[in-house]
């Protein structure tokens, strides 16, 4: 049985030469299939064992419990985000690329953003990802705290926007309606609200047609974030050598 006293990443380093029939990779991919199809709450050691046609105790030889399993899922998802070995000289281009690819991964795995906010990411794929982001802004010669604030701000935006996209999709699925059907359903109420004259800007918004979150909205927000960073950050002054 896996030793609970060490991190899963340390155990994997020691066991990297072993190739058992039931591997950590197979366990993780089965868990991802369950999480993608049924949500993260459906993931359990018993459920994964059933997916693999294995006994639950067999999993414990590789993964000590659900906490380890969630850490592995998180890192596996970050391993799917394609980034070059080194960032380009243009820090905005590098951060833009990372933001776009991370959004793709978070939409592919709807559980990823929420899991990232709840667990400390320490796996090798995430650490490489984080290193890429910090390296992207290293040419600005910022204090490391300022650099991490930039990375954090970028991710707050990406996670927030993806959360908005996923919640919209989920609301339509729950209601069993298309966007047009839901709009028609609420139209009588909204017409009464607008008729009061108390919400002129809301009226303009509704007349123009509500815009669903999409690529254009994401790119607009990303531009605002990156342009705001460029205006805000101030590289440290290099000391003059005398």
Q: In the numeric block, which tokens belong to residue 53? A: 């046609």
- Three-class DSSP category at 19: coil
The pLDDT tens digits for 127-136 are 999 999 999 9
The answer to whether the beta carbons of residues 225 and 153 sit under 8 Å apart is: yes
Q: What is the pLDDT of residue 73?
A: 95
Burial of 230 (0-12, 13-18, 19+ CB in 10 A): exposed
Q: Which of 20-29, 37-46, 138-147 has the lowest mean pLDDT?
A: 20-29
Count, in order, helices (H) and strands (E) of the chain.
Answer: 12, 0
Q: Is 237 left (phi over 0), alpha (psi -120 to 50) or beta?
A: beta
Task: Give the model's pLDDT for residue 242.
Answer: 47
Q: Could you tell me if 94 and 70 are in contact, meaning their C-beta atoms sit under 8 angstroms apart? A: no
Mean pLDDT of 92-111: 97
User: Rounded to whole angstroms, how far apart are CA atoms 135 and 150?
Assistant: 12
Q: What percent of the chain clears pLDDT 90, i.e. is strictly above it?
A: 56
Region 105-111: mean pLDDT is: 96
d(C-alpha 31, C-alpha 236), whole Å: 45
Tell whether the model's pLDDT for residue 160 goes beyond 60: yes
Q: Is residue 71 pLDDT above 90, yes or no?
A: yes
**For residues 115 and 74, is the Cβ–Cβ distance under 8 A?**
yes
pTM: 0.81
Predicted pLDDT of residue 132? 97
Residue 197 region, left (φ>0) first, then alpha (ψ -120 to 50), else beta? left
Render pLDDT for 115-131 as a digit per residue (tens, 0 to 9): 998 888 899 999 999 99
Name the average pLDDT for the chain: 87
Cβ proximity of 84 and 133 under 8 Å:
no
Determine the average pLDDT of the residues in 150-165: 95
* Per-residue model confidence (pLDDT) at position 236: 57
Q: What is the end-to-end Cα distance of the chain in Å, rounded? A: 63
Domains of the chain: 8-79 (1.10.10.60), 91-232 (1.10.357.10)
Q: Between residues 213 and 77, which one has the greater pLDDT? A: 77
pLDDT digits (tens, 9 = 90+) for 208-238: 776 778 899 999 999 999 999 999 886 655 5
């Amino acid at each position: 049985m896996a030793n609970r006293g060490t991190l899963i990443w340390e155990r994997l380093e020691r066991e990297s030469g072993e190739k058992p029939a039931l591997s950590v990779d197979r366990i993780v991919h089965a868990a991802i299939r369950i999480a993608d199809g049924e949500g993260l709450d459906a993931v359990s050691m018993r459920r994964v064992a059933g997916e693999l046609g294995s006994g639950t105790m067999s999993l414990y030889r590789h993964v000590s419990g659900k906490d380890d399993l969630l850490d592995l899922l998180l890192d596996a998802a970050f391993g799917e985000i394609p980034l070059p070995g080194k960032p380009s000289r243009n820090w905005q281009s590098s951060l833009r690329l990372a933001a776009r690819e991370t959004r793709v991964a978070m939409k592919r795995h709807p559980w990823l953003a929420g899991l990232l906010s709840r667990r400390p990411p320490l796996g090798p794929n995430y650490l490489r990802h984080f290193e890429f982001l910090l390296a992207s802004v290293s040419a600005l010669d910022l204090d490391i705290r300022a650099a991490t604030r930039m990375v954090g701000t970028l991710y707050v935006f990406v996670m927030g926007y993806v959360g908005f996209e996923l919640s919209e999709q989920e609301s339509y699925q729950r209601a069993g309606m298309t966007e047009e059907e839901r709009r028609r359903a609420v139209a009588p109420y909204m017409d009464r609200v607008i008729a009061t004259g108390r919400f002129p800007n809301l009226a303009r918004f509704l007349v123009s047609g509500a815009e669903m979150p999409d690529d254009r909205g994401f790119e607009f927000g990303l531009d605002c974030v990156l342009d705001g960073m460029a205006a805000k950050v101030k590289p440290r002054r290099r000391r003059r050598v005398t």
